[in-house]
């Protein structure tokens, strides 16, 4: 086995194809935890393909015509906090700021978040709420996968072993978006419940994605539709009673479990509260826009 | 490739031999290169004791596969006082009582340098003059200390900020 | 918090000055050698095979896979223990390696020495153990039931201790009761367990470098199990990365030594974090029922309590932990009557023993929660009811012991109340752009909360803590002082864990002997015991020993000078470098004064004797007491149950502040651990299996969780203490926990007028916002 520092996407996927069983190393913040505790050992006849120095993965670009941003899989959380990226994707920046510590944010990448595919991955509810499209490459070519189809379950995704996550394309929307996350500590904590809300003024649609309350990130579709129909889009206003209904519907969409981090009941409760609070931040209620 | 590679640490090149595949930079620094100033306490990137700089960015050495850091500039605590003269941050830690058992100290020293020397500043903080207490706390939240309750460490950081402003 | 300036008139480097650590430069530059940094030529790496089951019979152990692993040098089990096969601090009930039965998840079964850690890991994985899994005993109440099958030959009850004081039938006008639970806390020192054992040629003696708390007690237990004379073991302190009680018991000392002696080669062992959670004892989880009786105006009449401490699989210090809890069940208050029963039981949970606060933490959470209930019932302010009952010098404890120390409980309360409340509103001042700093709100960067959703509460906690060991134990301390060439050399086996005795020892020598230049010898067993670095005892005990040794050297020097130079020894002082006759102004350099004589004194310091409790739990069982008050201010998000501790104010009885900066560090650090227990720290076990034995899931307070601490030191030198100073390490941890929980209750009362019981720590978010449901389905069972 070798640690192979790839210099380009083709180089990386070529190596993955050539050496079956090889694994992709991005920021290392998830994989090395498994290596350190002995749960993961690289196979003798396979490689660790290091991708965090591939220029294409380390960059992002804004397409004003398409109104999209494409973020390389190797962009770190720290980089997502920087303007102008943060201004175009504020919910992603908010999520990035909740990831671990500065040390983790300097190493961890958006592609790694997708590759690990934990239901608690902080970037994932944002990608889900924005209907992100994930571009993946293999020796045979590239394809795009909607994020909703990619995430299958806890640490399970729909990518083949020889596929490399290259980038994520997200819409730059008109309207408000935000992310909130509950943990038992005021910093450096894994989400026990998280919520991303996107209010798309142009399309007059609502997206609500929930983390840590199911086998993978969930969309609260029924709550989204009900709320979208209730909002006064012209006035950017919503009836407070609709927010209570939103909390109930969001909680109903959760499929949480009890574990050592929190109870299912609390997780279900928390995503409802977070959805209500986020929407209240984005819209005027009772004539006032929440802080 | 991984059974023999070169790491550039504190400006010097080190040959790494017999490292097992996947071995962390923390273990290689300590066990292979004899650079024991970098400490390990959690193996999960949760405590910050193993904080080092790679190309100027603060990371946990336990989460870096050592062989993947070839060709990058690694700075450890040993690189801060190469001639035995402590840095201003190191001096401030001693003078303010920020050190007790000292196990978290090298990692914290690296994190404070990263914060004050230009990296890992929270959003909205372009210079140390405007560094609020809360921003310092956020920037150092990845470094656990079990002895001090952080109060004296905050004091040390504030002392360096004031000194550097002079 | 503001560090107090050294009092004017204090000579630099002496007692009262905030002297800096002598090891500070080494620790900041990464050159300080922690035990995990030590190695030796030809050193092998040791590892431990541990039980995956909480309770099982070992049917067979097949070591062949390990032996066949290339690079393995030794594989050992209980059969390879030449001496006693069990060890323990109070009773030797814990096997070095399990033989027929394993009693907790993590119990050692075998150890391997190999060329490198990775080989060691593979060899351990290749050992095949066949188990018959048994039904574990996990309910402490069931452990008390005589009908329950015994899980250990010593029985399921480790210790039972009543305290019956005054009139057991007394009743009060006002009665409040409650049942409180304390979760299992981990000491979570950052410097993981590590040891290096270097055998002497011949294999009948060895040198062991280890991070521990009590060198001589380690050596005693090691010698027993290794079948060696204690003198054959030279224990040397490896740099200690924090302790907090977790290094008082044996962990890897015996295993490492066995491997080294077996191979005649140096062996080092080092735990990783997961193994550390299994390899040391923890703070006892406890269930405590209390009923307080008081007069209508809030004077305590009687305390009743039943306490059950879960000791886990082995005894460790459970008996002493329980003694502390039952004897201090009423807290720092006068209470004429008490009916208390306490039990420490054995279960198949992780073994529990010492942690900062040692039994009093558990009792304090219960009695302080009760004092708040009593205040409500009497319509008194929580502060006022504490003041009305505050203990004073001359009062009796629940065991009938007269408190002879200074007991400034009232001063602690008044001085804490006088400290300023936070000057910032909820969420802090708005920033220039009108936004709120989310880091100042509950939930922090998670952006869960806005200012309008937060309620602020204030709570109180006050505690008493016994100093030193109790119930007849003579935990003396030894120190040596030698004067040569004008330099004082100190030697002691007092373990430095970060608390700063190495700083203090120099200050004592400069003050008592008077010589400025002080050198510290290596901390090892080449001198008598110093006792344990625990129980807030080293300032008093080892401080007393160093002071006595320095005094003996000074007196001998003065006699020598008097003889040589015909001056009056009574009039001499040392001013740092010279011996000075105050009457005449005559002086001579210390080096010249001591030329030709070897002044070398070793002194044992013993505290006044204590006695075991009688059958009713009465007797003078404690050496002395220290007191502290805490006031917590917290911001709570009631709907999500999230908490941000905003400020901790405290006034602490320190006797005399020997090093204000060092005390500040103890106060702030101790409060951080109290905060951890209040709102986040708990080892969760399900069916006897630890679920969060790592720092991803066992949460320690971060920089953003710790509040501002404002502190006042109550300086009333204690005439019983050798330097007038009391230990300061434990009090900050003890009543900060109930103060924080009381503040959360206060906030919640403001929300709905009712509040939440919050009778369990750590308080979990669901306990606050969903009180009808349990916070986790997997509560520590």
The dihedral built from the CA positions of residue C400, C402, C403 and C405, taken in this order, carries a sign that is negative
Contacts 24+ apart (CB under 8 A), C382-385: C382/C459, C382/C460, C382/C742, C383/C413, C383/C417, C383/C460, C384/C298, C385/C298
- Report CB contact under 8 Å: A33, B44: yes
Q: Which residue has the higher pLDDT, B125 or C642?
A: C642
Which residue would you say has higher pLDDT here, A285 or C448? C448
Helix/strand/coil for C450: coil
Helix (H, G, I), strand (E, B) or coil at A22: coil
CB C629 within 8 A of CB C460: yes
pLDDT of residue C9: 77
- C-alpha to C-alpha distance for B67 and B20, rounded to whole angstroms: 10
Is residue B99 within 8 Å of C26, Cβ to Cβ? Answer: no
Q: Is the pLDDT score of C773 beyond 60?
A: no
pLDDT score for C162: 98
Is the pLDDT confidence value at A215 over 90?
yes
Mean predicted lDDT score pLDDT of chain C: 96
Instruction: Tell me the pLDDT tens digit for each residue of C524-545.
Output: 999 999 999 999 999 999 999 9
3-class SS of residue C578:
strand
- Please give the sequence-ordered ranges of beta strands (E in DSSP) within C530-596, or none if there are none: 572-574, 578-581, 587-589
pLDDT higher than threshold 60 for residue B120: no
Counting one residue from chain A and one from chain C, the pairs whose CB atoms sit within 8 A come to: 122
Residues of chain A positioned with their CB less than 8 A from the CB of B24: 32, 35-36
Inter-residue contact C93 to C177 (CB < 8 Å): no
Q: Does the pLDDT value for residue B150 go beyond 60?
A: yes
Nearest by CB to C692, from A183, A194, A260: name it.
A260
Q: pLDDT band for C495, please (50, 70, 90 cuts).
A: very high
Q: Please report the number of interchain residue pairs, chain A to chain B, with beta-carbon separation below 8 angstroms.
A: 112
Residues 142-201 of C with CB under 8 A from B: 187-192
Distance CA C124, CA C50 (A): 9
- State residue A225's pLDDT score: 97
Which chain C residue shows the shortest CA-CA distance from B99?
Answer: C24
Q: How far is CA C599 from the centre of its chain?
A: 36
CB spacing of C703 vs A187 below 8 angstroms: yes
Beta-ladder partners of C633: C458, C647
Contact C326, C307 (CB under 8 A): yes
Closest by Cβ to B101, choosing from C37, C117, C240: C240
Mean pLDDT, all residues of chain A:
95
CA distance C410 to A169: 65
pLDDT in tens, C230-249: 999 999 999 999 999 999 99
**Can you tell me the mean pLDDT for A171-177?**
97
pLDDT at C754: 81
C47 at interface of A, judged by CB pairs closer than 8 A: no
Q: What is the 3-state secondary structure (H, E, C) of C373-406?
A: HHHHHHCCCHHHHHHHHECCCCCECCCCCECCCC
How far apart (Å, rounded) are the C-alpha atoms in residues A36 and C271? Answer: 13
Contact between C446 and A183 under an 8 Å Cβ cutoff? The reply is yes
- Measure the CA–CA gap between A74 and A81, rounded to whole angstroms: 14
**Confidence (pLDDT) at C769:** 96
- 3-class secondary structure, B108: helix
For residues C506 and C308, give the distance between their C-alpha atoms in angstroms, rounded to a whole number.
43
Contact B42, C189 (CB under 8 A): no
pLDDT over 60 (residue B124): no
Averaged pLDDT for residues C449-457 = 95
Q: Are C273 and B43 in contact (CB under 8 A)?
A: yes
Residue B86 and residue B90: Cα distance in Å, rounded?
6
Look at residue C748 and tell me whether its pLDDT is greater than 60.
yes
What 8-state DSSP symbol labels residue C764?
P
Within an 8 Å CB–CB cutoff, is residue A285 touching chain C? no
- Tracing tokens 């059950």 back to the chain, one arrives at C308
Longest dimension (CA), chain B: 49
For residue C219, give the 3-state DSSP assignment. helix
- Give the separation between CA A80 and CA A76, rounded to whole angstroms: 7
For the segment B50-66, the average pLDDT, to the nearest whole number, is 97
Which among A183, A185, A291 has the least Cβ separation from residue C451?
A291
CA B21 – CA A6 distance, rounded (Å): 17
Q: Are C755 and C385 in contact (CB under 8 A)?
A: no
* Residue A285's pLDDT band (cuts 50, 70, 90): low
pLDDT interval class at A43 (50, 70, 90):
confident
Contacts of C643 (CB under 8 A, 6+ apart): C442, C634, C635, C636, C637, C679, C740, C744, C763, C768
Q: What is the pLDDT of residue C511?
A: 97
- For C55-70, the pLDDT digits (tens) are 999 999 999 999 999 9
**What part of B 124-153 touches A (C-beta under 8 Å)?**
137-139, 141-143
Nearest to C21 among B20, B94, B134 (CB): B94
Residue A286 structure tokens: 């009772």
- Selection from C732, C242, C729, C248 nearest residue C498 by Cα: C242
Query: CA of B113, closest CA in chain C: separation in Å?
Result: 12
Residue located via tokens 């916070």: C775
CB-based contact A185 C778, cutoff 8 Å: no
DSSP lists the bridge partners of residue C333 as C390
C417-444 pLDDT, tens per residue? 999 999 999 999 888 888 889 999 999 9
Nearest CB neighbour to C118, from listed B20, B102, B149? B20
Rounded to whole angstroms, the Cα distance separating C772 from A267 reads 15
Tell me which residues of chain C, numbers 628 to 667, contact chain A at a CB-CB cutoff of 8 Å: 639-642, 644
Per-residue model confidence as pLDDT tens digits over C306-354 = 999 999 999 999 999 999 999 999 999 999 999 999 999 999 999 999 9
The mean pLDDT of chain B is 92
Measured from the Cβ of residue C757, the count of other Cβ atoms closer than 10 Å reads 15
What's the mean pLDDT in A198-216?
97
Q: How far is CA C632 from the centre of its chain?
A: 22
Q: Which chain C residue is nearest to residue A91, measuring alpha carbons? A: C447
Q: Please answer yes or no on whether A265 and C766 come within 8 Å at the CB atom.
A: yes
Question: pLDDT of C647-694, one tens digit each?
Answer: 999 999 999 999 999 999 999 999 999 999 999 999 999 999 999 999
Residues A69-86 as b/e (b if ≥16 CB within 10 A, e otherwise) read bbbbbbbbbbbbbeeebb
ipTM above 0.90, yes or no: yes
Shortest distance between the Cα of A169 and any Cα of chain B, in A, equals 24
pLDDT at residue C3, as a whole number: 42
**C177-234: per-residue pLDDT in tens?**
999 999 999 999 999 999 999 999 998 999 999 999 999 999 999 999 999 999 999 9
pTM of the model: 0.97
**Which pLDDT score, from 0 to 100, does residue C527 have?**
98
Give C362-376 pLDDT, tens digit per residue: 999 999 999 999 999
Percent of chain A with pLDDT over 70: 98
Identify any residues that bridge with B73 across adjacent strands, giving them in sequence order.
B8
B56 — contact with chain A (CB < 8 Å)? Answer: no
Least Cα separation, residue B70 to chain C (angstroms) = 22
Neighbors of chain B with 3 or more C-beta pairs under 8 Å: A, C
Residue that is written with structure tokens 């501002």 in the block:
C708
Could you tell me if A22 lies within 8 Å of chain B, comparing CB atoms? no
Contact (CB<8Å) C703/B150: yes
| Whole-number Å distance between alpha carbons of C136 and B112 | 48
Report whether C774 contacts A263 (CB < 8 A).
yes
Structure tokens, C419: 């400290």
Tokens in use for C260? 């080294």
Chain B residue with minimal CA distance to C671? B149
Report, as an integer, the average pLDDT of C487-492. 98
B36 close to C (CB below 8 A): yes
pLDDT in tens, A114-132: 999 999 999 999 999 999 9
């Amino acid at each position: 086995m070798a640690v192979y520092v790839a210099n380009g996407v083709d180089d990386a996927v070529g190596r993955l194809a050539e050496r079956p069983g090889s694994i992709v190393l991005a920021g290392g913040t998830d994989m090395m935890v498994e290596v350190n505790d002995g749960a993961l050992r690289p196979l003798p006849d396979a490689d660790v393909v290091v991708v965090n120095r591939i220029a294409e993965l380390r960059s992002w670009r804004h397409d004003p015509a398409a109104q999209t941003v494409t973020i390389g899989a190797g962009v770190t959380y720290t980089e997502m906090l920087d303007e102008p990226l943060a201004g175009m994707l504020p919910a992603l920046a908010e999520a990035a700021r909740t990831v671990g510590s500065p040390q983790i944010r300097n190493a961890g990448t958006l592609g790694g978040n997708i590759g690990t595919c934990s239901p608690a991955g902080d970037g994932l509810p944002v990608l889900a709420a924005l209907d992100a499209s994930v571009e993946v490459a293999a020796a045979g070519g590239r394809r795009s996968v909607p994020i909703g189809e990619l995430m299958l379950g806890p640490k399970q995704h729909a990518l083949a072993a020889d596929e490399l996550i290259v980038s994520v394309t997200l819409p730059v929307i008109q309207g408000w978006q935000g992310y909130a996350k509950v943990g038992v500590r005021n910093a450096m904590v894994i989400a026990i419940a998280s919520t991303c809300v996107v209010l798309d003024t142009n399309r007059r649609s609502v997206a609500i994605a929930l983390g840590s309350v199911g086998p993978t990130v969930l969309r609260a579709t029924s709550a989204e539709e009900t709320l979208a129909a209730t909002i006064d889009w012209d006035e950017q206003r919503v009836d407070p009673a609709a927010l209570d209904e939103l909390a109930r519907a969001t909680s109903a969409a959760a499929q949480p479990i009890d574990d050592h981090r929190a109870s299912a009941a609390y997780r279900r409760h928390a995503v409802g509260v977070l959805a209500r609070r986020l929407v209240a931040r984005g819209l005027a209620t009772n004539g006032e826009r929440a802080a | 490739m991984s059974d023999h590679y070169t790491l550039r640490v504190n400006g010097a090149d080190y040959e790494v031999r017999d490292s097992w595949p996947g071995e962390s930079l923390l273990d290689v620094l300590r066990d292979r290169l004899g650079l024991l100033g970098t400490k390990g306490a959690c193996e999960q990137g949760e405590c910050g004791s193993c904080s080092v700089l790679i190309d100027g960015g603060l990371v946990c050495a336990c989460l870096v596969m050592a062989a993947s850091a070839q060709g990058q500039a690694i700075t450890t605590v040993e690189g801060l006082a190469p001639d035995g003269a402590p840095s201003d941050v190191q001096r401030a830690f001693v003078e303010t009582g920020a050190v007790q058992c000292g196990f978290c100290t090298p990692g914290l020293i690296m994190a404070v340098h990263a914060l004050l020397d230009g990296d890992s500043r929270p959003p909205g903080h372009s210079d140390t003059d405007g560094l609020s207490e809360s921003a310092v706390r956020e920037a150092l939240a990845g470094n656990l200390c079990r002895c001090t309750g952080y109060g004296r460490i905050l004091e040390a950081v504030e002392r360096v900020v004031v000194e550097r402003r002079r | 918090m503001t560090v107090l300036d050294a009092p004017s008139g204090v000579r630099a480097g002496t007692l009262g000055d905030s002297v800096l650590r002598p090891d500070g430069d080494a620790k900041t530059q990464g050159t300080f050698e922690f035990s995990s940094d030590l190695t030796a030529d030809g050193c092998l790496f040791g590892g431990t095979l541990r039980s995956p089951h909480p309770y099982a019979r070992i049917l067979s152990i097949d070591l062949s896979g390990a032996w066949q692993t290339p690079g393995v040098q030794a594989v050992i089990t209980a059969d390879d223990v030449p001496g006693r096969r069990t060890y323990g601090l109070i009773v030797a009930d814990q096997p070095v390696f399990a033989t027929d039965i394993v009693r907790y998840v993590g119990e050692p079964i075998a150890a391997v020495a190999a060329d490198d850690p990775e080989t060691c890991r593979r060899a351990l994985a290749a050992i095949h153990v066949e188990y018959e899994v048994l039904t574990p005993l996990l309910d402490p109440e069931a452990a008390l039931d005589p009908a329950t099958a015994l899980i250990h030959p010593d029985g399921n009850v480790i210790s039972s201790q009543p305290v019956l004081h005054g009139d057991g039938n007394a009743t009060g006008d006002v009665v409040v009761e409650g049942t409180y639970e304390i979760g299992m806390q981990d000491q979570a020192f950052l410097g993981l367990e590590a040891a290096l054992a270097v055998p002497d040629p011949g294999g009948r003696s060895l040198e062991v470098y280890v991070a521990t708390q009590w060198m001589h007690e380690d050596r005693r237990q090691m010698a027993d199990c290794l079948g060696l004379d204690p003198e054959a073991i030279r224990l040397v302190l490896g740099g200690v990365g924090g302790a907090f009680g977790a290094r008082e018991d044996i962990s890897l000392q015996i295993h490492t030594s066995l491997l080294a002696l077996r191979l005649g080669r140096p062996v080092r062992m080092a735990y990783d974090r997961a193994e550390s959670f299994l390899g040391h004892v923890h703070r006892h989880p406890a269930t405590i029922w209390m009923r307080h009786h008081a007069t209508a105006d809030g004077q305590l009449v009687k305390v009743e309590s039943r306490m059950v401490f879960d000791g886990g699989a082995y005894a460790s210090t459970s008996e002493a932990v329980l003694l502390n809890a039952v004897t201090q069940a009423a807290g720092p208050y006068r209470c004429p009557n008490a009916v208390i029963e306490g039990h420490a039981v054995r279960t198949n949970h992780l073994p529990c023993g010492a942690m900062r606060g040692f039994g009093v933490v558990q009792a304090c959470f219960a009695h302080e929660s009760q004092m708040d209930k009593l205040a409500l019932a009497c319509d008194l302010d929580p502060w006022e009811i504490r003041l009305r009952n505050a203990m004073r010098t001359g009062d009796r404890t629940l065991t009938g012991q007269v408190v002879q120390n200074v007991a400034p409980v009232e001063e602690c309360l008044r001085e804490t109340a006088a400290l300023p409340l936070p000057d910032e509103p909820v969420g802090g001042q708005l920033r220039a752009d009108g936004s709120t700093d989310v880091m100042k709100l509950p939930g922090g960067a998670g952006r869960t909360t806005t200012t309008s959703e937060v309620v602020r509460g204030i709570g109180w906690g006050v505690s008493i803590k016994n100093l030193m060991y109790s119930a007849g134990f003579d935990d003396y301390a030894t120190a040596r002082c030698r004067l040569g060439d004008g330099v004082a050399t100190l030697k002691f086996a007092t373990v430095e864990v970060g608390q700063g005795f190495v700083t203090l020892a120099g200050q004592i020598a400069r003050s008592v002997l008077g010589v400025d230049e002080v050198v510290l010898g290596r901390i090892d067993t080449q001198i008598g015991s110093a006792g344990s670095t625990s129980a807030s005892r080293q300032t008093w005990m080892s401080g007393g020993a160093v002071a006595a040794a320095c005094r003996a050297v000074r007196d001998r020097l003065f006699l020598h000078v008097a003889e040589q130079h015909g001056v009056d020894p009574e009039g001499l002082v040392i001013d740092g470098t010279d011996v000075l006759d105050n009457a005449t102004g005559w002086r001579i350099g210390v080096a010249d004064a001591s030329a030709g004589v070897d002044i070398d004194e070793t002194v044992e310091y013993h505290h006044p004797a204590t006695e075991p409790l009688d059958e009713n739990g009465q007797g003078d069982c404690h050496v002395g007491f220290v007191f502290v008050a805490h006031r917590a201010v917290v911001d709570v998000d009631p709907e999500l149950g999230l908490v941000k501790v905003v400020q901790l104010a405290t006034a602490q009885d320190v006797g005399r502040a020997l090093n204000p900066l060092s005390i500040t560090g103890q106060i702030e650090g101790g409060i951080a651990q109290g905060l951890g227990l209040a709102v986040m720290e708990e080892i969760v076990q399900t069916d006897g299996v630890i679920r969060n034995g790592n720092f991803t899931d066992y949460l320690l307070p971060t920089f953003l969780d710790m509040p501002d601490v404002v502190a006042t030191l109550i300086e009333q030198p204690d005439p019983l203490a050798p330097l007038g100073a009391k230990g300061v390490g434990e009090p900050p941890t003890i009543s900060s926990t109930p103060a924080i929980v009381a503040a959360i209750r206060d906030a919640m009362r403001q929300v709905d007028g009712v509040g939440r019981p919050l009778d369990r720590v750590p308080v979990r978010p669901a306990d606050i916002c969903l009180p009808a449901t349990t916070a986790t389905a997997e509560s520590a069972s």
